[in-house]
Amino acid sequence: MRDWALASLAGLGSAALLGGALFFQYVVGLAPCELCILQRWPHLVAFIIGLIVWFVPSVWLMGLGALSAATAGGLGVYHTGVERGWWEGPTHCSGGGDIGALTPQQLLDQVMAAPVVRCTDVAWEMLGLSMASWNAIFSFALVGVWLIAMRRSA
């Protein structure tokens, strides 16, 4: 397989992961948390880069595609750690923070403005791994595909 085709395939892999997330959201009905949504953006970027590489093969673009997939993977690892309690996540979606200093009205305002889904909640898992974990695994696999494409083009 040619290097540009392999890179475009990696971009399509990111599109598939993005499509899977949208499927779980809109068909299965699992509302995403803020970290779930954040993981989608690098996949969108990698998909667009994969489309561009199809028409304009460039090792630099392939490197950006690998970086985008790696960013999605890193966010997946971070989110997995938040879900598993390995480290603290953002307080606005993980339920942390000091509420003792808030007035009742401030507390009510924060509750009403809070996201519906907490970043610490695992909405779906398979084989003991959450969607964030699977996203990290597949994203890092896509990094490998991007890097192979880069090596073949050099």
pLDDT on residue 41? 95
pLDDT on residue 108? 65
- Contacts for 146 with CB less than 8 Å, ≥ 6 apart: 7, 10, 46, 62, 63, 65, 66, 69
Give the separation between CA 107 and CA 36, rounded to whole angstroms: 25
pLDDT on residue 114? 56
Question: CA 90 from chain center: how many Å?
Answer: 16
Collapse the DSSP code of 22 into the 3-class scheme (helix H, G, I; strand E, B; otherwise coil) and give the result: helix
pLDDT on residue 107? 62
130: region left, alpha or beta (phi > 0 left; psi from -120 to 50 alpha): beta
CATH number of 3-87+106-153: 1.20.1550
Give the separation between CA 119 and CA 129, rounded to whole angstroms: 15
Collapse the DSSP code of 130 into the 3-class scheme (helix H, G, I; strand E, B; otherwise coil) and give the result: strand
Task: Name residue 125's beta-bridge partners.
Answer: 130
One-character DSSP codes across 5-45: HHHHHHHHHHHHHHHHHHHIIIII-----HHHHHHHHHHHH
pLDDT on residue 3? 77
Give mean pLDDT in consecutive 10-residue pieces for the chain, a chain of 154 residues: 83 95 91 88 96 91 96 95 85 59 67 64 82 94 94 81
pTM of the model: 0.79
The values of phi and psi at residue 125, to 5°, are -150, 155
* Residue in 125, 89, 90, 116 with CA at minimum distance from that of residue 32: 116
Contact present, 53 and 109 (Cβ < 8 Å): no
Quick one: tokens of 23?
Answer: 């499927």
